[in-house]
Amino acid sequence: MSGGVQFPVRVAEIEAVSPAVKRLRLERHDGPSLPPYSAGSHTVLTLEARTLEGGTRRIRNAYSLLGTTLGGGPAYEIAVLRSPQSRGGSVFIHDQLAIGATLSMSAPVNLFPLHRTARRHVLVAGGIGITPIAAMARELAAAGQPFELHYAMRDEASGAFAAELAALYGPAMRLYVSQRQERIAVRDILAHQPVGTHLYVCGPERMIDGILGDARIAGWPDSALHAERFLAPEGGEPFAVKLARSGIATLVGEHQTLLEAIEAAGVDAPYLCRGGACGQCETPIVSADGTLLHADHFLTDDQKACGKTIMTCVSRLRGRELVLDL
């Protein structure tokens, strides 16, 4: 069963928490309440976006669940950054989605969990990366676990939830505004942590790489470093895909992922995170006329070089045709 349990939800609240970020409250409307979840969990929303031609296009995007609804109940909350370069999901949510609209939302999945044997937690967020990080702070505060929170943003106005986090966590929280030339000094932060501390970072790809790089130089083991490596799958050149087992041939458009094209062709292909992290959509390749562009964090470099499988949610082909064993 691809995607697992789905909940039908209705948009109950939309609030602009910064000029580019909206908080959405999504209420289940078929009766039972939504289950609790652990901090760091995400959900996959299925959106039916209107196209310029007047049709609809199905988009599935993963969003971290906010800490406000950790206990489950009538609704879950997410925060969405308007990202014009994306495949249209966030722009649709910002510009078209209205209160009362109905959507399908997957059960929570956690690919960025807290390490429960850690003695202390250092949480680092950049921009919209604050969503899972703030949920972690909330869960740790409720459990009385020691943590500190470092939150970097471009300017004061763009920092979603900054004021309420500062009010909640006071001295355990520090803000960094890049417009004021404030930078997270990872080496200084890590130099004073006790043994058994774990580091979590979510933010732009470059920031993650920088922070993890500094931590490794400081001698931290990989087992104590955690990053939310969600990639916004970027588009690319169109290519043909043939599904050998089902005998279906279709085209992957420039703003479409391979997985979306397979789904549009009516095939119920496996997936879970839709972000190249979980490995669920790993699909065997029969042949590839072109170069594989692996964009996932699941396959090893050796496996990518072998070219025997592809993660359909984020990876694609630069070339003519890809034949999959599907």
What is the C-alpha separation between 228 and 123, in angstroms, rounded?
12
Q: Which two tokens stand for residue 239?
A: 């290519």
Closer CB to other proteins, residue 4 or residue 146?
A: 4
Nearer to other proteins, 107 or 323 (CB): 107
In the complex, what is the shortest distance from the CB of residue 109 to other proteins, in angstroms, rounded to a whole number?
Answer: 6
- Nearer CB in complex with other proteins: 34/81: 34
CA distance 228 to 58: 25
Query: 153 or 272: whose CB is closer to other proteins?
Result: 272
Assess contact for 149 and 125: CB atoms under 8 A.
Answer: yes
Applying CB under 8 A, the residues found at the interface with other proteins are 1, 4-5, 35-38, 41, 70, 72, 107-110, 113, 115-117, 143, 223, 272, 278-280
- Closest C-alpha to 39, from 109, 127, 118: 109
Residue whose CB is less far from other proteins, 5 or 306: 5
**Closest separation between CB of residue 33 and other proteins, Å?**
11
Q: Output the smallest distance, CB 280 to other proteins, in A.
A: 6
Nearer to other proteins, 133 or 252 (CB): 133
**Structural contact between residues 146 and 119, judged by C-beta atoms closer than 8 angstroms:** yes
Give me the helices (H) in the chain, please: 89-95, 130-143, 162-169, 186-191, 205-217, 258-264, 301-306
> Nearer to other proteins by C-beta: 71 or 213?
71
State the sign of the Cα–Cα–Cα–Cα dihedral 114, 118, 121, 126: negative
Least separation in angstroms between CB 75 and other proteins: 16
HEC sequence for 158-177: HCCCHHHHHHHHHHHEEEEE
